[in-house]
Amino acid sequence: MTAPLTIAIDGPAAAGKGTLAKRLAEHYGLPYLDTGLLYRAIGKLASDAGIDLDDAAAVGPIAERLDTSHLDDGSLRGREAGELASRVAVHPQVRSALTAFQRDFAARPEGAVLDGRDIGTVICPNAQVKIFVTASAEVRARRRTDELAAKGRDVTYERILAEVRERDVRDAGRSVAPLKPAADAHLLDTSELDIETAFRAACEIIDRSAA
């Protein structure tokens, strides 16, 4: 029987980790979890149900009942869902439930690919392969600006760059699960790489590590 392959993909916003993780999951035939959608899903489910997002006792049970079907809502990637997520993420019961959810997903018999910000350090510290995907703030801001402009959003590169830098400081400085590479993670800088080149580089890392 083939041993399970768990791949942890971490990194800052707009580094390309989500696109890369999905490609890797397809390539290796593994289930994929975008952990960034979890808190957004909880926030939206609570909001849609008319629940006070600041009421930890009311929001907590929603997190405990979450399943992957709740992550298919396309609106979860919007700004509003992000704002809802920030409100529910402060509740310890929510964080505990979603940590358990992610670990259960990663423990599937065949393995899994998970991407986020604390997969290799907190969720799956024993993952067979850990990749920390990064890129310069300027490159990430340009990618994000182009993505939003393609969707018809009126944005400026300068504002997006400022937001990216603020997010980096916030993510790296938070007291719980700060954004940082695991000690045994492979660093993959995509600043000068297109998705195909980044994908091939990641496959080489995984094939060497899992051999």
Element (H, E) at 63: helix 56-64
Establish whether 19 is an annotated binding residue. Answer: yes
Binding residue per annotation — 14? yes
Q: In whole angstroms, what is the distance from residue 139 CA to residue 121 CA?
A: 25
For strand 5-10 and strand 186-189, is the pairing parallel, antiparallel, or unpaired? unpaired
Any binding-site annotation on 17? Answer: yes
Report whether 120 belongs to an annotated binding site.
no
Closest CA to 12 of 165, 124, 145, 154: 165
16 annotated among ligand-binding-site residues: yes
Spell out a b/e string for 32-52, using b for 16 or more CB atoms within 10 Å of the CB, else e.
Answer: bbbbbbbbbbbbbbbbeeebe
**Does residue 128 sit in helix, strand or coil?**
coil
Residues annotated in a binding site: 11-19
Residues annotated in a binding site for ATP: 11-19
